[in-house]
Amino acid sequence: MQLTGSQVIIECLKEQGVDTVFGYPGGAILNVYDELYKHPEIKHVLTSHEQGASHAADGYARSTGKVGVCLATSGPGATNLVTGISTAYMDSIPIVAITCNVGVSLLGKDSFQEIDIAGITTPVTKYSFIVKDVEKLADTIRRAFDIARKGRPGPVLVDIPKNVTADLVEYTRQEIKLPERVTETITDSDIDNAIELIKASKKPYIFVGGGVVLSGASKELKEFVDKVNAPVCDTLMGKGAYDGTSDNYTGMLGMHGTKTSNLGVSECDLLIAIGTRFSDRVLGNPKKFADQAKILQFDVDAAEINKNIRVTSSVIGDVKEILTRINKKLTQLDHNSWVEHVLAYAKTFPLTYHKEGLSGPFVIEKIYEMTKGNAIMVTEVGQHQMWAAQYYKYSKPRTLLTSGGLGTMGYGLGAAIGAQTANPDRTVVNIAGDGCFRMNMNELATASREKLPLIEVIINNHVLGMVRQWQTLFYEKHYSATVLDDGVDYVKLSEAMGATARRVKTQEEFEKAFADALKSKTPFVIDCIIDSDDKVWPMVAPGKPINESFDEEDYNATQGGN
């Protein structure tokens, strides 16, 4: 049948099973929005800003495992998506961004709101398309979804000139076949080498990254951990892939990881890294990282092998399939004495914070208690993000949504909108700092319009907390451009945008406010006033080995008790 390009776009979204899109209309994309108007089966969430749309698509994707979709018009509409696309790219999140451009005859002429968005996004997407011929439109959209899902997931952009959205073309519906898992790169010899390394190890440690979440391999990971009988640590992106309430779970690894994980990995003789890219925040000093250990890496992306750290052996392919094959061949091992040795560190060096007064760690622990660990936790970026990683126990995958690679301030509220839209019956909590909140707080208007019962918790220390922490520790307390004590009233702002809001200064006030938030049917903002100099402990100084992690007591000792 003959359809316009706009009709083809909508039909292709329906082919892919898309039920929700996030976006903001404009001149170049009007034909698409006119067609979308006729299809109420696809829910459109109008965000307050295109960046909010891209973060919402990301949060939708992270919380469901489906491809998130966002729409924007040409020029600034398209460029406003770039931060969200980059965020998804760094964390391997499948989204498809559809933009529309000026007509083909106007391309390259500096036309009004013309921009080469495909060129701009090429470095931060798996692929960027511009479709100048309506005959290629349907296949390009199908290919975009396939690329976004396949192998290591990631964002794809499709830019469509306005005339293409109006041109007619013959369209035939296709049944979509989801891409198969990457298995052709998994060899028997690599599997056997991995098993030999594991069997020869006396002190193995299992290090879990976001790839386990993306591949849906939590069940296989649990079986593998039980067979190896080893302690487990994770990255920020790996939270929930392994049950954080398990006895042999030792917490996050790296700059703000636990002393237990950092010391244990520094002593192990085999580090089994699963679906992780060895970021600089994990490695500390790469020359001294796990320097007593052989390193075995499982990853779907061959480019990650030997990129940041030299490994002894690797298996390349889908993590779920790799673990399935290893589990079939691996016999039960006994490393009880090693596990007990590592867990002794947990008793000696537990995560601690000052119990009096309102603080970030208290807020996170209380949220965990009051949600019974069943919330979808979303964060912005900074101290509050680290506290959310440290003090909430993630027992299931896709329950912590956070910008790990790009570290995008302003990510959380949009992502929480995406997660709440996709999971209407779940409790969704966004943890923000006051610096992050002010970046995209306009999305509260979106949450209010959509009547989303998400809970926004602002850890308000009136400063850019993490930057101030570095200024305190490494820059002689030169607080350059990090003080935010400017009289902005977040409660009034939130109420003005249709949310319920409370300001709390004590533990008791927070508990009462959060209990009310859990019963709310609309957005609820809690402005938590904490001390400006609260810090995230422990910490590894930049460039230092991870076994030189220090906490508040260590720091005060080096400062003569000050």
Inform me whether the pLDDT recorded for 197 exceeds 80.
yes
Catalytic residue among 112, 135, 170, 196: 112
pLDDT, position 223: 98
Inform me whether the pLDDT recorded for 187 exceeds 80.
yes
Query: pLDDT-based confidence at 239, cuts 50/70/90?
Result: very high
Residue 195 neighbours by CB under 8 Å, 6+ apart: 326, 329, 330
Inform me whether the pLDDT recorded for 562 exceeds 90.
no
pLDDT, position 559: 84
Structure tokens at 261: 């994980």
Mean pLDDT in residue range 481-505: 96
Q: Where does 174-269 show beta strands of DSSP type E? A: 204-208, 232-234, 249-252
Mean pLDDT in residue range 311-336: 98
Residue located via tokens 């914070």: 353
Catalytic residue among 237, 255, 409, 466: 466
Inform me whether the pLDDT recorded for 403 exceeds 90.
yes
Inform me whether the pLDDT recorded for 30 exceeds 60.
yes
Do strands 2-4 and 168-170 pair parallel, antiparallel, or not at all (unpaired)?
A: antiparallel
Mean pLDDT in residue range 426-453: 98
Sign of the Cα pseudo-torsion (354, 262, 319, 301, in order): positive
Inform me whether the pLDDT recorded for 561 exceeds 70.
no
Inform me whether the pLDDT recorded for 232 exceeds 70.
yes
pLDDT, position 485: 85
362 is catalytic: no
90 is catalytic: no
Catalytic residue among 15, 113, 396, 505: 113
Is the entire prediction scored with pTM above 0.75? Answer: yes
Integer Cα distance of 255 and 231 in angstroms: 19
Mean pLDDT in residue range 383-393: 98
Structure tokens at 187: 């060899």
Question: In angstroms, how far apart are the furthest CA atoms of the chain?
Answer: 80
Q: What is the mean pLDDT of the chain?
A: 97
Mean pLDDT in residue range 95-107: 97
294 is catalytic: no
Q: Are 237 and 277 in contact (CB under 8 A)?
A: no
180 is catalytic: no
Mean pLDDT in residue range 84-110: 97
Element counts in the chain: helices (H) and strands (E): 24, 20
Query: pLDDT-based confidence at 5, cuts 50/70/90?
Result: very high
Catalytic residue among 50, 114, 304, 456: 50
Mean pLDDT in residue range 523-547: 97
Catalytic residue among 162, 203, 320, 535: 162
Surface-to-core class of residue 24, CB atoms within 10 Å of its CB (0-12 exposed, 13-18 middle, 19+ buried) = buried
The per-residue pLDDT for range 129-164, each reduced to its tens digit, is 999 999 999 999 999 999 999 999 999 999 999 999
pLDDT, position 560: 60
112 is catalytic: yes
Inform me whether the pLDDT recorded for 93 exceeds 60.
yes
What whole-number percentage of the chain has pLDDT above 90?
98
Domains (ranges, CATH) in the chain? 2-170 (3.40.50.970), 188-348 (3.40.50.1220), 360-539 (3.40.50.970)
Mean pLDDT in residue range 354-381: 98
Alpha carbon separation from 520 to 113, 187, 384, 399, 452 (Å, rounded): 41, 53, 23, 21, 9
Query: pLDDT-based confidence at 277, cuts 50/70/90?
Result: very high
Alpha carbon separation from 290 to 81, 204, 283, 295 (Å, rounded): 39, 11, 9, 8
